[in-house]
């Protein structure tokens, strides 16, 4: 019976015009995957020429692309397939432009081996360093350094040796333990499938031989402790309950004791079920369904781990984040975090430092721009099981999703849990929010007034509080200007500071609502994401977004503080409505036309709406 071929995932990367498409075309041509008349076209544009041949494993290719689409990642990576007598390869052609770091990350995240190309005429470039760093960051341990276009420099050995030495010098600061170098020419086919007489001074293997000698990442993980993220729970009948997923590390057999995380409950494996029948043993890389000998709580997003070597569990950790969104990342903004099949609400609490991926040095950073990389502290709304990314990319890697647009905003690599995550625990209190509200005889609420400076927020909020006070209600006012004299006096008016400003106020408002109060919050709060974050902190039906809608011209005409005048003169930077954006609410609970309605009438309307709200 024929031995099943090993599947390897490759990423081909390098600077612009380093010859990736030509090299890939030569690989496909020399292995008989494309005919002679398509080689030149493929060299011009690898995305416009299809592959042929009976061995193309479409399922593997489609699975990879679908996984990326499910994560919402927009990529510009061309995938190609080829095979030798012993291996099957899927190769991702990652764009070489600096602005496509996100695509390089996507392609490298699933790669077993990288082919890093360097044009022999140009030598080491900034983008070479960038791609070397990203490969190291994404845990690609096997790298083939392909010095391309050797035919254009007369196959000069000295030039080749210098380029290799230059790369080895920077590789010392990177984790690339299996590094090999080879002189090639995609056009002439030198050292691709057969050794070239033009490089008689090179006595190493061909590119194909180097690739065939590589190992899948899963091979390195089979000796590690068991990890399987539960993708689904199968219960076709009362006699069968199985947990389906892919082993990302270790192995398992019937009788093994496993631990389900985060609950920590243990059980023994009863059966290992697949579509082709039951197995006596499953290893990393296989997708299976496990049944257990005990009826314990286990659901999608949980991790089944070795009982004696489980994952860590924490709700705060330090991670490296690669930012993909065109909207910068600001500390304090909330995102959905997806790790394996589990999801949680996440906040970047602190950017420890950015990373200059040209020098690999840490740099100060208060926000992360598109394609930027930074080390950050991340806080979740619940504890999750995880491993460090360097130990397991599936239980240690995550994506951040913008809750408003549902786009994948960033990718993260977990390093370790923060100690405070393990030392600080939620204290149960005997007098809860319901008890506080009952003694006050009212339902807590957060009245969030938003609008441009000068729209009349504070004036109207004060009138609303006076009316509520006259009705015997217990209230508290949080005004933006007042809090900047105390709690938020350390913050400026950059977008990053504005995000943190609202995060702090939202947390204070929540605590006061938990004390049974009606909290009036009067802040410009220009960004929808922060207002939505504040809404999610409140209990259902207790958050009222009140949009004091005044056109910019009206607000500017009321400029009693002279702020618009200073902003127009360039004396006041980052002023909302002038050189910093305001994102109006799309569906506020209450909208006040501040140009047409008096503050007194507005206050009357707000109190009436709140009083009529269902309890």
- What is the model's pLDDT at position 446? 95
Confidence of residue 46 (pLDDT cuts 50, 70, 90): very low
- Residues 6 or more apart in contact with residue 352 via CB below 8 angstroms: 318, 374, 375, 376, 377
Transcribe 167-195 into DSSP letters.
HHHHHTTS---EEEEEE-BTTTTBTTTB-
The CATH classification number of 220-306 equals 2.40.30.10
**pTM summary value:** 0.69
- What is the model's pLDDT at position 566? 83
- What is the model's pLDDT at position 405? 85
Percent of the chain beyond pLDDT 70? 88
Question: Choosing from 196, 232, 525, 611, which is the catalytic residue?
Answer: 525
236-279 per-position pLDDT tens digit: 777 889 999 999 999 999 999 999 999 999 999 999 999 889 99
Q: Is the pLDDT of residue 175 over 60?
A: yes
The structure tokens listed for 382 are 């619940």
- What is the model's pLDDT at position 153? 95
What average pLDDT does the chain have?
Answer: 84
Fold of 313-423: Elongation Factor Tu (Ef-tu); domain 3 (2.40.30)
The structure tokens listed for 110 are 């699933």
284-316 per-position pLDDT tens digit: 989 999 999 998 889 999 999 999 999 999 999
3-state secondary structure 345-370: EEEEEEEEEEEECCCCEEECCCCECC
Do residues 50 and 64 lie in contact, with contact meaning Cβ atoms separated by under 8 Å? no
The domain defined by 6-215 carries CATH number 3.20.20.70:
no
Rg of the Cα atoms in the chain: 29
Residue ranges of the domains in the chain? 6-215, 220-306, 313-423, 433-612
Confidence of residue 37 (pLDDT cuts 50, 70, 90): low
Check residue 524 and give left, alpha or beta (phi > 0: left; psi -120 to 50: alpha).
alpha
475 backbone dihedrals φ, ψ, rounded to 5°: -130, 170
- What is the model's pLDDT at position 569? 79
Mean pLDDT of 77-97: 77
Q: How many angstroms separate the CA atoms of 252 and 370, rounded?
A: 41
Q: Is the pLDDT of residue 51 over 80?
A: no
- Told to judge if 370 belongs to the known catalytic residues of this protein, a careful annotator would answer no
Q: Which of 73-87, 177-191, 554-568 is most confident? A: 177-191
Q: Is the pLDDT of residue 575 over 60?
A: yes
* CATH for 433-612, options being 3.90.1170.30, 3.40.50.720, 3.40.190.10, 3.40.50.300: 3.40.50.300
- Long-range contacts of 191-194, Cβ-Cβ distance < 8 Å, separation of 24 or more: 192/23, 192/26, 192/27, 192/30, 193/27, 193/30, 193/31, 194/30
Confidence of residue 62 (pLDDT cuts 50, 70, 90): very low
442-498 per-position pLDDT tens digit: 999 999 999 988 888 989 999 999 999 999 999 999 987 788 888 888 887 777 788
- Helices 20-30 + 36-44 axis angle, to 10: 160
Q: To the nearest 10°, report the CA torsion of 291, 294, 300, 302.
A: -110
- Residues 6 or more apart in contact with residue 402 via CB below 8 angstroms: 325, 327, 335, 409, 529
- What is the model's pLDDT at position 90? 86
- What is the model's pLDDT at position 185? 92
Q: Any idea what DSSP says for residue 464?
A: H
The number of residues in the chain equals 615
358-411 per-position pLDDT tens digit: 777 889 888 999 888 999 999 998 999 999 998 898 899 999 999 888 888 999
Q: How many angstroms separate the CA atoms of 225 and 385, rounded?
A: 14
Q: Which of 15-24, 79-88, 457-466, 496-505 is most confident? A: 457-466
524-557 per-position pLDDT tens digit: 888 888 888 889 889 888 999 999 999 888 888 8
């Amino acid at each position: 019976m024929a031995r099943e071929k090993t599947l390897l995932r490759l990423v081909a990367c390098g600077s612009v015009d380093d010859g990736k498409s030509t090299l890939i075309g030569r690989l496909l041509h020399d292995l008989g995957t494309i005919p002679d008349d398509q080689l030149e076209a493929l060299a011009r544009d690898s995305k416009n020429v299809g592959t042929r041949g009976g061995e193309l494993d479409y399922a593997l290719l489609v699975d990879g692309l679908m996984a990326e689409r499910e994560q919402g990642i927009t990529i510009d990576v061309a995938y190609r397939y080829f095979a030798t007598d012993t291996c099957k390869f899927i190769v991702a052609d990652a764009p070489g432009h600096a602005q496509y770091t996100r695509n390089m990350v996507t392609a490298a995240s699933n790669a077993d081996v990288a082919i890093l190309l360097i044009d022999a005429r140009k030598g080491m470039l900034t983008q070479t360093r960038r791609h070397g760093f990203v490969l190291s960051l994404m845990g690609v341990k096997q790298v083939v350094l392909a010095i391309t276009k050797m035919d254009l420099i007369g196959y000069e050995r000295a030039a080749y040796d210098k380029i290799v030495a230059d790369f080895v010098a920077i590789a010392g600061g990177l984790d690339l333990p299996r590094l090999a170098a080879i002189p090639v020419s995609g056009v002439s086919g030198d050292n691709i499938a057969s050794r070239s007489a033009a490089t008689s001074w090179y006595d190493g293997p061909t590119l194909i031989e180097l690739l065939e000698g590589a190992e899948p990442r899963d091979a390195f993980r089979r000796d590690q402790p068991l990890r399987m993220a539960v993708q689904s729970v199968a219960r076709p009948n009362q006699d069968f309950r199985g947990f389906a997923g892919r082993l990302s590390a270790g192995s398992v057999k019937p009788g093994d004791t496993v631990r389900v995380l985060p609950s920590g409950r243990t059980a023994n494996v009863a059966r290992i079920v697949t579509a082709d029948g039951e197995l006596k043993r499953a290893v990393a890389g296989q997708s299976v369904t496990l049944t257990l000998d005990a009826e314990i709580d286990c659901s999608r997003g949980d991790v089944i781990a070795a009982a004696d070597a489980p994952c860590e569990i924490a709700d705060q950790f330090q991670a490296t984040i690669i930012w993909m969104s065109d909207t910068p990342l600001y500390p304090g903004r909330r995102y959905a975090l997806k790790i394996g099949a589990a999801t949680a609400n996440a906040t970047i609490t602190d950017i420890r430092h950015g990373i200059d991926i040209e020098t690999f040095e840490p740099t100060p950073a208060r926000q992360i721009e598109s394609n930027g990389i930074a080390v950050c502290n991340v806080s979740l709304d619940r504890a999750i099981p995880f491993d460090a990314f360097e130990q397991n990319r599936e239980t240690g890697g995550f994506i951040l999703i913008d809750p408003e647009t549902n786009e994948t905003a960033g990718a993260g690599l977990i390093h370790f849990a923060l100690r405070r995550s393990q030392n600080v625990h939620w204290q149960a209190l005997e007098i809860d929010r319901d008890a506080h509200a009952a003694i006050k005889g009212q339902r807590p609420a957060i009245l969030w007034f938003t609008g441009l400076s000068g729209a009349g927020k504070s004036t109207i909020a004060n009138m609303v509080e006076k009316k509520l006070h006259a009705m015997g209600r217990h209230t508290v006012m949080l005004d933006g200007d007042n809090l900047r004299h105390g709690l938020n006096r350390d913050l400026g008016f950059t977008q990053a500071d504005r995000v943190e400003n609202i995060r702090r106020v939202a947390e204070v408002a929540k605590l006061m609502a938990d004390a049974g109060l009606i909290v009036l919050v009067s802040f410009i709060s220009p960004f929808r994401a922060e207002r939505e974050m504040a809404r999610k902190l409140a209990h259902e039906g207790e958050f009222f977004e009140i949009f004091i809608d005044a056109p910019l011209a009206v607000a500017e005409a009321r400029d009693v503080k002279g702020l618009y005048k200073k902003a127009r003169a360039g004396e006041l930077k980052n002023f909302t409505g002038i050189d910093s954006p305001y994102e109006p609410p799309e569906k506020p609970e209450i909208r006040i036309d501040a140009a047409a309605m008096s503050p007194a009438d507005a206050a009357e309307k707000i109190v009436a709406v709140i009083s009529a709200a269902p309890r």
